[in-house]
Amino acid sequence: MDSVDLQVLKSACDWMKAGHRVVLVTVVKTWGSAPRPIGALTAIRDDGMLEGSVSGGCIEDDMILRVRNKDLVKDKPVTTQYGVSAEEASRFGLPCGGTLELVLEPLTAESGLDKLLAHVERHELVKRTLDMKTGRATIEPAVNSDQLAIEGEKFITVHGPRWRLLIIGAGQLSKYLAQMGQALDYNIIVCDPREEYTEGWDVPGVEIKRGMPDDVVTELNLDGHSAVVTLTHDPKLDDMALLEALKSPAFYVGAIGSKKNNDARRVRLADFDLSKDEIARLRGPVGLKIGSKTPPEIAIAILAEMTAVKNDVELPQTIEKPKATVAGCAVTT
C-alpha cells in the first residue's frame, strides 16, 4: 500500500484510541475516470476530521456531512456508489461521468486495525478479510497475486509492500534511492559484502544482506513485482547480480555507469549463459535522462524510470543536447 493509505490506517487507529467513532472508506470499483485507484482509503472521524481521499473533495464533503449527521453508515459495513448519473457525477466533481463504488466500514475493536497496522509497519504483505454481516475482520499472510475482491459477504483487501527493490551496493546513492523507494512503498533490500560500506548504513527499515550479489538474487527468488539496481561501479559485484537478475522475472533491472561502461558490460554479459533478449532487458545507464548530477537527482531519475516501467508507460527516447565547442574543444553543457 502507498504511504498515503498507511497514514490513513495510522490516523484511524489513533482516533479510535482517543475514543472517536471512525468510518473507514475503501474504493472498491471505478467506472470512467477516477481520481484514486481501487483500494485507496479514507478515514472519517465523527467530528468530520478526515485523512486520505477518494475523489477531488466533493465526495468527501458529502460523506463528512453524513458522518456528522450519523446517517452515512450505522453498525455494519455497507457499500455505496457515487456518480451513477451524469448529474450526480457532475455534482461530485467526477470527470467524464466517472463512478465510484465504496465500502463504508464503521471501525470497532473487531476490525483488527491495530493488528493490520503492525503487519504493514513490519513491511509484511497481508490479506484482510472483512465479514460484511458482522464487521469482524481476520488478518492472514498474502501473496502478490492476491487482489481486492468482494466474495459474497466477504470483503478482501491486500495491504503491505507489493513491490521489492534490491539495491546492490550500500553507498551514498543507495541511501537516497532506499529512502525515496520506501516513500513509494517498495520493500528495500540492500546487498553489499563489503563491511566498510554496510557498517555505516543508517537507513531504518531496510534489510541488509552481506552475501555475494548472485547468491542474494537467487535467494530472493525475484518475481514480476521485483526490481534490481546495481550501484557499486565494481563489475565483480554488479555483473554478478545482473547475471542472475536478467534471467529472473524482475520487471526492472538497471545498472549505474556511463553508456561506454554499460556497452562494455553488455559485451561481458554475452560471454555467459544469457540470451540477447535477456541482455536487452538491462537498463543502463540506469534512470531517465533528466540531467541528473547529484545523488538525490540520480535516485529520482532511477525511480521515475522504474515507475514508468511498472505502470507500463512507454518511454520516448530522450534526445541528447548537442555539445558546445569552445576553441575547437568539446565542452559538455
DSSP 35: S
- Nearest Cα to 110, choosing from 80, 130, 127, 124? 130
pLDDT score recorded for residue 315:
79
Q: How far, in Å, CA of 254 to CA of 265, rounded? A: 12
What is the pLDDT confidence band of residue 259, given thresholds at 50, 70 and 90? very high
Domains, the chain, in order of start with CATH, read 3-159 (no CATH), 163-310 (3.40.50.720)
Burial class (CB in 10 A: 0-12, 13-18, 19+), 11: middle
User: Residues 105-151: pLDDT tens digits?
Assistant: 999 999 999 999 998 877 788 999 999 999 999 999 998 778 899 99
Taking the complete model, does pTM exceed 0.75, yes or no?
no
Count of beta carbons in the 10 Å neighbourhood of residue 96:
9
Indicate the length of the chain as a whole number.
333
pLDDT score recorded for residue 88:
57
Q: How far, in Å, CA of 91 to CA of 239, rounded? A: 56
CB 164 within 8 A of CB 220: yes
Which residues have CB under 8 Å from 304's CB, separation 6+?
287, 288, 290
Containing 117, the helix (H) or strand (E) segment is: helix 113-121
User: Residues 317-333: pLDDT tens digits?
Assistant: 544 444 443 444 444 43
CB 3 within 8 A of CB 76: no
pLDDT score recorded for residue 193:
96
The partner residues of 230 in beta bridges, in order of sequence, read: 168, 255
Contacts within 8 Å (CB) and 24+ apart, 38-45? 38/148, 39/1, 39/5, 39/148, 39/157, 39/158, 40/4, 40/5, 41/1, 41/5, 41/8, 41/9, 42/8, 43/8, 43/9, 43/11, 43/12, 43/15, 44/72, 45/15, 45/20, 45/21
Burial class (CB in 10 A: 0-12, 13-18, 19+), 108: middle
For residue 141, is the peptide bond before it cis, meaning its omega torsion is within 30 degrees of 0?
Answer: no
User: Residues 33-74: pLDDT tens digits?
Assistant: 556 678 889 999 999 999 988 776 678 888 888 888 888 788
DSSP 283: B
CB 216 within 8 A of CB 209: yes
User: Scanning the structure block, which residue is given the C-alpha cell 540492500?
Assistant: 190
Sign of the alpha-carbon dihedral angle for 143, 283, 291, 205 = positive
CB 266 within 8 A of CB 282: yes
Q: What is the mean pLDDT of the chain?
A: 87
User: Residues 296-320: pLDDT tens digits?
Assistant: 999 999 999 999 999 888 876 544 4
